[in-house]
């Protein structure tokens, strides 16, 4: 894959997920795809496989309710891309939250994603409030 191919794949994956076409986004992943989210997040852990990715999406959506996703920048080199995004969350009055995701490629697909959160506390607090409201 060229760097342009990798950049296009990253953008396609984000666009499909953001539009709700998770089944199509799933097909851009390797069979042994992994996403590792820090344990301090409400949906933290290592999720392995295309189907695990589909199981994770509703958990993230229910926990933090991303209402807007802005792409800030992407850099590509070797088998990796780094995507800088900002999440605007439904129910969070503060500024958009910056997130950096390390994306690794193999055989023309995405084989790994590792998100890194600059300030996870607004997401954790929002998820806690949303879960409490669901239990009432």
Instruction: Quote the CA–CA distance of 68 and 13 in Å, as a whole number.
Output: 16
The pLDDT score that the predictor gives to residue 54 is 86
- Quick one: pLDDT band at residue 74, thresholds 50, 70, 90? very high
For 89, the token pair is: 């969350």
Domains of the chain as residue ranges with CATH: 3-130 (3.10.450.50)
Cα dihedral 62, 48, 117, 120, rounded to 10, equals 40
Instruction: Quote the CA–CA distance of 91 and 123 in Å, as a whole number.
Output: 10
DSSP, residue by residue, 22-54: HHHHHTTEEEEEEEEE-TTSTT-EEEESHHHHH
Range scoring the smallest mean pLDDT among 1-5, 62-66, 97-101: 62-66
The pLDDT score that the predictor gives to residue 102 is 98
Token pair 């879960």: residue: 131
Residue pLDDT, tens place only, 34-59: 999 999 998 899 999 999 888 888 88
Cβ–Cβ < 8 Å for 28, 5? no
Q: Is 18 exposed, middle or buried (0-12, 13-18, 19+ CB in 10 A)?
A: middle
Residue pLDDT, tens place only, 25-35: 999 999 999 99
Cβ–Cβ < 8 Å for 93, 119? no
Residues pairing with 71 in the sheet: 85
The pLDDT score that the predictor gives to residue 31 is 96
């Amino acid at each position: 894959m060229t760097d342009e191919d990798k950049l296009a794949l990253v953008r396609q994956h984000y666009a499909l997920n953001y539009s709700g076409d998770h089944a199509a986004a799933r097909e851009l992943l390797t069979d042994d795809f992994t996403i590792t989210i820090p344990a301090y997040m409400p949906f933290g852990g290592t999720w392995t496989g295309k189907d695990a990715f589909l199981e994770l999406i509703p958990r993230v959506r229910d926990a933090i309710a991303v209402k807007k996703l802005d792409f800030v920048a992407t850099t590509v080199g070797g088998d990796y891309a780094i995507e800088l995004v900002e999440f605007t969350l439904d129910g969070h009055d503060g500024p958009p939250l910056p997130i950096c995701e390390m994306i690794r490629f193999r055989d023309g697909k995405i084989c790994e994603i590792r998100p890194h959160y600059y300030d996870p506390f607004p997401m954790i607090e929002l998820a806690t409030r949303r879960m409490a409201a669901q239990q009432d």
